[in-house]
Structure 1
C-alpha cells in the first residue's frame, strides 16, 4: 500500500509538471491549431523571470518578504511570457494561420532566436526590454480610448512607446547597478532557491511528500480550474470557443476575431510562463530548459485529444504515472513474479530517460488505433 501511494504521488507530481507545461499548448495548439515550437522557450522566459524576481527579493529592502517571491513571480511570469507570445502572434503567427508547415518552421526559428537571446543579452537588459513591451502593449488597454483616436493618435502612440522605452531603460539600469549577477550575460545555468516554507517534506503514512512538488500540484489544480472556468463561463472564453468552432460565422456575428486570436495566444503563452515557474523550482534554469518538455507537451495534447482539456489532464497524469512506475523500477517491486522476458525489458527501461522513450513509443502505438486521442473532437470543430 505504501509503495502504491508513493508511486501514485510521484506519478501525479510528474504529471502535474507535464500538465502545467502542456496546458498553454493545449490552448494554442488545441484551440487555434498553431504548432508552436517556441512554447518551450516561453517556459524558459517564465523560469528566468522567477530567477530575476528571486534576485530582486534578495536585496535588503525586500529581504523581510523574501519568502513571497514565488507568489510574485507567478503573475509576472504569466505577463512576461504572455506579452512575448502576443508579440509573436502579431508579427509572425497571424500571417501563417492555415499553414501548419510554415508555422512550424517559423516558430522553430523563433525558439532558436529566444535561446540565443538569453545566452547573449544580460538579464538586466532583457528585463528592461520586456518591461518596455509590457508597458507598450498594456498602456493602450488602460488609458482611455479617446487618447488613441483623432488627429493626435499617432503622436500619442509614439509618446506611449517613448514612456515605455524610458521605463525599460530605467529598470535595466537599476537592476544592473544593484544586482551584479544579472548585470552580465548568462550563458550558464542559474539556480532558483526555494524559500524556507517550500523546503523539506510532509510526512504521512511513512511517506515523505516534497513540499515543492505539492506546491506544483496545487498550482496545476488552480490553473486547470481557472482555464476551465474562463473557457466555459466567461464572455471571452465563449468567444474563443465560438471562433474555434466557426470563425467566419463568428466574424459575421460581430465577434472581434483578431482580438480573440491575440487573447488566446497570450493566455496560452502566459500559462507557459507559469509552467516555467514550476520547472524552475525543480532544477537549474538554462537556455534549453524548455526544450526538454516540448515533445512531452505535444504528446500530452495529442494523446488527450486536440482541444480537450479533460483529455490533456488525464493524458498528463497517465504519462507521469507510467514514467514513474517504469523509470523508478517500481513495476518490478509491485509485480515480483513478472515473466523473465518482460522483466528484462522493464529492467532495461528502468531509467527516467529510457522510460520516457518507452512511454512515447506506447503512445505512438496507441495513436495508430485511435489517432484522434482519448477524447476526439466532435461536431463543427471537426468540420472546421
Structure 2
C-alpha cells in the first residue's frame, strides 16, 4: 500500500507538469483552433533555460547563493518561452488560423527545427540539472512512504499557475477579451477588441506556461532535445479529454492522464499502462467528443 501511495503521488506530480503544459495549450487551441505540434518544444526551451541559468550560477557566483538559481530559472523559463512563442505567433501562426491541417504540418516542422537547433547547441546526449539543496530531501509520512520535496514544489507551482491563469481569465479586462474572442471572434472584433493583439499575448502566455513545465521537469529527470516529444501527446490528450479552453477541464484531464496512467502502470507494465489509458481516452471521447468540460461557442454559424 505504501508503495502504491508513493506511485500515486508520483502520478500527481506528473499531472502537475501536464497541467502547466496544458493550461496554455487549452487556451490557445480553444482560442485559435491551431494544432500546435511545437508546443512540446517550449517545454524543452524552458528546460534548457534552467540548465543555462544553473551553469551561469556555478561559473560566476559564489556557491552559497547557488540555491537561488531556481527562482531565476523559473522566471527566465517563462519569459524566454513566452518571447519565443510571441515571435512564432507573429511570424507563422497568425497565417494559419482556421487551417487545422496546415497548422499541424507547419508546427510539426517547426518542432523538428527547434529539436535540431537544441542538438546543435547543446549536443544530443541528455544533460542534468541539479535541484536546490532544500528540494533534495523528502517528507517522511510513515515507513517507506515519503514524499520528495521536489514533487511537492512542482505541485505547488502548478497550483500557483492554475490560480494565476484563473485570475487572468476571469478577473482582468485582458481575460474578458480572451474569452470574448474564444466565443465569437467576429463579434469581439466588431466591438473594438484587437483580436491580433489578443492572439499574440495569449500564445505568448501559453508558451511561457509550457516553459515553466519544462523548468519543473529538470528537477525530476534528465533533459534532451526530444524532451517535448515525450510529453506532447499526453498534453494534447489532457486538453482533448478536459475540453479545449476550459481551466476545470485542464485540471480533470491532467489528473485523468497523469494519475490514471501511473495507476495502470503500477498494476501492469509501462507499455500496457499506456495502452490502457489510450483506450480509456477513446471510450470517453465516444460519449463526450468535445471533452468533459467543453466551452460553448456563440458564433452565429453555430
Q: TM-score, normalized by length of structure 1? A: 0.75
Q: Which residue is 1:288 aligned to?
A: 226
User: Which of 136, 140, 145 in structure 2 is aligned with 1:199?
Assistant: 136
For the residues of structure 2 that align with 1:309 and 1:381, how far apart are their CA atoms? 21
Q: Which residue is 1:372 aligned to?
A: 290
Q: Which residue is 1:246 aligned to?
A: 184
> 1:345-383 deviations in whole A, cap 9, x for unaligned?
xxxxx2223312210121112211221211122251695
Q: Does 1:12 align with 2:16?
A: no
Equivalent pair of 2:138/2:148 in contact (CA under 8 Å): yes
Contiguous gaps of at least 5 residues in structure 2: none
Tell me: CA distance 1:220–1:260, structure 2 relative to 1, closer, same or farther (3 Å).
same
User: Which of 145, 168, 172 in structure 2 is aligned with 1:230?
Assistant: 168
Equivalent pair of 1:201/1:211 in contact (CA under 8 Å): yes
The Cα shift of 1:60 comes to 4.4
The Cα shift of 1:319 comes to 2.0
1:70-219 pair list within 5 angstroms? 70-120=70-120, 122=121, 185-206=122-143, 207-219=145-157
CA RMSD of aligned residues (A): 1.7
Tell me: CA distance 1:62–1:100, structure 2 relative to 1, closer, same or farther (3 Å).
farther
The Cα shift of 1:14 comes to 2.1
Tell me: CA distance 1:199–1:15, structure 2 relative to 1, closer, same or farther (3 Å).
same
Tell me: CA distance 1:111–1:223, structure 2 relative to 1, closer, same or farther (3 Å).
same
Q: Which residue is 1:169 aligned to?
A: none
Equivalent pair of 1:244/1:381 in contact (CA under 8 Å): no
For the residues of structure 2 that align with 1:353 and 1:62, how far apart are their CA atoms? 45
1:249-288 pair list within 5 angstroms? 249-288=187-226
Equivalent pair of 2:246/2:295 in contact (CA under 8 Å): yes
Q: TM-score, normalized by length of structure 2? A: 0.94
The Cα shift of 1:43 comes to 0.7
Counterpart of 1:208 in 2: which secondary structure? strand
> 1:128-161 deviations in whole A, cap 9, x for unaligned?
xxxxxxxxxxxxxxxxxxxxxxxxxxxxxxxxxx
Q: Does 1:306 align with 2:244?
A: yes
Structure of larger gyration radius: 1
The Cα shift of 1:20 comes to 1.9
Q: Does 1:363 align with 2:281?
A: yes
Counterpart of 1:76 in 2: which secondary structure? helix
For the residues of structure 1 that align with 2:300 and 2:12, how far apart are their CA atoms? 31
For the residues of structure 1 that align with 2:208 and 2:11, how far apart are their CA atoms? 25
Tell me: CA distance 1:106–1:357, structure 2 relative to 1, closer, same or farther (3 Å).
same
Equivalent pair of 1:7/1:325 in contact (CA under 8 Å): yes
Equivalent pair of 1:18/1:297 in contact (CA under 8 Å): yes
> 1:215-259 deviations in whole A, cap 9, x for unaligned?
110110000010011000011111111111111221122111111
For the residues of structure 2 that align with 1:48 and 1:11, how far apart are their CA atoms? 24
Tell me: CA distance 1:74–1:7, structure 2 relative to 1, closer, same or farther (3 Å).
same
For the residues of structure 1 that align with 2:280 and 2:183, how far apart are their CA atoms? 31
> What is the number of equivalent residue pairs in this alignment?
301
Tell me: CA distance 1:8–1:186, structure 2 relative to 1, closer, same or farther (3 Å).
closer
Tell me: CA distance 1:246–1:377, structure 2 relative to 1, closer, same or farther (3 Å).
same
